[in-house]
Amino acid sequence: MNIDLPFAPPPGLTNPHVQTILSSVARKALVPQRISDFIAGTIEEIIDVADVRLVVHKNAQPHDPQAPLIMIIPGWLGSAQSSYVLSAAQYLWQQGFSVVRVNLRDHGNTAHLNSGLFHSALSHEVIELAKHLMAAVQPADGTKIPCGLIGYSLGGNFALRLARAIPDLTTLAICPAIDPYATMRQIESSFIYRNYFVTKWRKLFREKQRHFPTLYDFGPAMQLSSVASLTDYFIKYHSEFDDTETYCAAYDLSGQALTGVKAHIVAAADDPIIPAHFYQQLPDSVTVDLIDRGGHGAFLENWQLDSWVDRYCGHFFDEQLRR
């Protein structure tokens, strides 16, 4: 499906790196200031599911208990407080949807909640969390409340895996990571993106060690300066996988991994982190709306740094969940 909602960024905002960096850096302070009332109305909840504790942030529709529910999964090392997650959640809430922003394990200052480490192949606990959240909004009279899911980047990869496990979930993946190993190599090719993720990952390791000093010593990781070397280290010393290739294969969605899965992808042809060719060989059941510009999940449509993809999400779920 293609949503008729043209994206035309103004001069100066057409470069994919400008889009990506401004979305990550400039919106970090801007978005929370704009939506402070929405944030103030959020309920934070710790949910015990699949032997782990995960944190979600909920904004229900106060006058419509049967409003459709939209769950949002951030990208790798992002959180429920990431600007793109907050922005989409607030927009959808204004459109009459209830929203839940999900923190993956260890994300969003939750490293203290579980002794085990997050890794990207951990889909079971996220599937169980989604089932829990979906069941929680269903009324006792048997009325079915429709539910949707948004995932960004790695969160998009999770979202597509959830769509495979929960067919009733209406799923939208934004610039999802399809081939994890190739995506890692793409990040490695850029000094800016490589350092961004290395800095955030090492910070998470330090937090995990601070909370569980008898379990972890990440001193060696602090000496590593690439995503590839950190991944190799993590897989060797802190995972059940034989090597990085085996680990990446565990959540690789290329080829026929999504055969029969009904989901929708919106992505940018100029994405500097996940090139568009990753979306060319997906099964027909997964529809793709490839936009000429937008960077990596940014889609900034003006110098107020509003994201066009928020409106895209609104149109998509209005059509899919309110038909």
Question: For residue 52, what pLDDT is reported?
Answer: 98
Cα Rg of the chain, angstroms:
19
**CA triple 305-309-311, angle to 5 deg:** 95
Ordered by start, the domain boundaries in the chain are 16-179+257-321, 189-252
295 neighbors 18 (Cβ within 8 angstroms): yes
Question: For residue 4, what pLDDT is reported?
Answer: 82
Write out pLDDT tens, residues 206-243: 999 999 999 999 999 999 999 999 999 999 999 999 99
Strands 43-49 and 52-59: antiparallel
Q: Which two tokens stand for residue 9?
A: 């960024």
Residue entry with tokens 């923190």: 103
Write out pLDDT tens, residues 243-271: 999 999 999 999 899 999 999 999 999 99
Question: For residue 16, what pLDDT is reported?
Answer: 97
CATH superfamily of 16-179+257-321: Alpha/Beta hydrolase fold, catalytic domain (3.40.50.1820)
Question: For residue 81, what pLDDT is reported?
Answer: 97
d(CA 42, CA 3): 30
pLDDT exceeds 80 at position 20: yes
pTM, two decimals, is 0.96
| Average pLDDT over the chain, rounded to an integer | 96
pLDDT exceeds 90 at position 84: yes
Question: For residue 201, what pLDDT is reported?
Answer: 97
pLDDT exceeds 70 at position 1: no
Residue entry with tokens 């000094």: 191
Residue entry with tokens 């499906």: 1
% of the chain with per-residue pLDDT over 70: 99
Which band of pLDDT confidence, cut at 50, 70 and 90, is reported for residue 142?
confident
Question: For residue 322, what pLDDT is reported?
Answer: 87
